[in-house]
Copies of this chain bind each other. A is one copy, B any other.
Amino acid sequence: MRVLIVEDDAVLRDGLRVGLGIGGFNTDAVETCEEADAVLKNHEFDALVLDLMLPDGSGLDVLKSMRERRDTTPVLLLTARDRVADRIVGLDAGADDYLGKPFDLDEVAARLRALLRRAAGRPGARLEWNGLSLDPAKQKVEQDGKPVHLSRREYAVLHTLMAHPGQILSRSRIEEKLYGWQEEVESNAIEVHIHHLRAKLGSDAIQTVRGIGYRLGGEM
C-alpha cells in the first residue's frame, strides 16, 4: 500500500513516514503543492496524507485539482488546528477524512486503513481468498485457519495480490507497491519473495502468468 505524504514540516513528515511505516504502509513524501501535483499525475497511490498549509499554497488546491481530473484516491487531510471551518471546506472539496494536528501516529495509520477499506468497497477488515485470509489491521495471515508467519516484504507482496483477487499483476506493479518510486530495485527481488511465499503457502497459491505477471491461484 503506497501512501503519498504532502507535508512541509520536516519533523512531522519524518514522524509520519516512520509511523505509517510501522503501520505497514510504504510512503513517499513531497513538500510542496507543485511537487504533489507533479507526482500525482505520474504515479498512482493508494492514499494521500495532505497537509493544508503548504509553502506554495493550500493543500485544498491540490485536492481540488485531483478531483477535477477524476482522481478518486482517498485523501486524509491534516488541518493545522481544530478549525472546524477548515474541515468543512476540506470535506466539501472532496477529502475523505480529516485529522487535527497534533495527532497520534497510530491513529493516522488506523484512519488510513479505514479509508482504504471504504475505498475498496469491502465491508470487513480482512481480505479472503481460497483459504487464505489477511488482516491488515493486525498484519496477520492465516491459511485454513492456521497462522502463517510472513516477513515484511512477503506480507506486502501477498497483500498486493489479495487486494486484486483474480487479477494478474505485473512485476513492476507489485514493485511499485513495495518501494517508493525513488528507490526502485533492479533485480529479481520480487521473484525471490514469491518463491518464499510459495514455500510457505504451497506452490499453487500463486500462479505465474508467463511474460505478464502473477496472480493468486485457486478456483479463480
Which residues between 38 and 75 of chain A lie within 8 Å of chain B, taking CB atoms? 41-42, 44, 69
Main DSSP-derived SS at the A contact region: loop
When the two chains form their complex, are residues A167 and B152 in contact, meaning their CB atoms are under 8 A apart? no
When the two chains form their complex, are residues A138 and B167 in contact, meaning their CB atoms are under 8 A apart? yes
- Interface: A203 (CB within 8 A): no
Interchain CB contact (< 8 A) of A22 among B24, B82, B170: B170
- Interface: A206 (CB within 8 A): no
Which residues between 97 and 154 of chain A lie within 8 Å of chain B, taking CB atoms? 100, 102, 104-106, 138-139, 147, 151-152
A2-10, A88-96, A188-196, A210-218: which lies at the B interface?
Answer: A210-218
Residues of A participating in the B interface, judged by any CB pair closer than 8 Å: 22, 24, 41-42, 44, 69, 82, 100, 102, 104-106, 138-139, 147, 151-152, 166-168, 170, 172-173, 209-213, 220
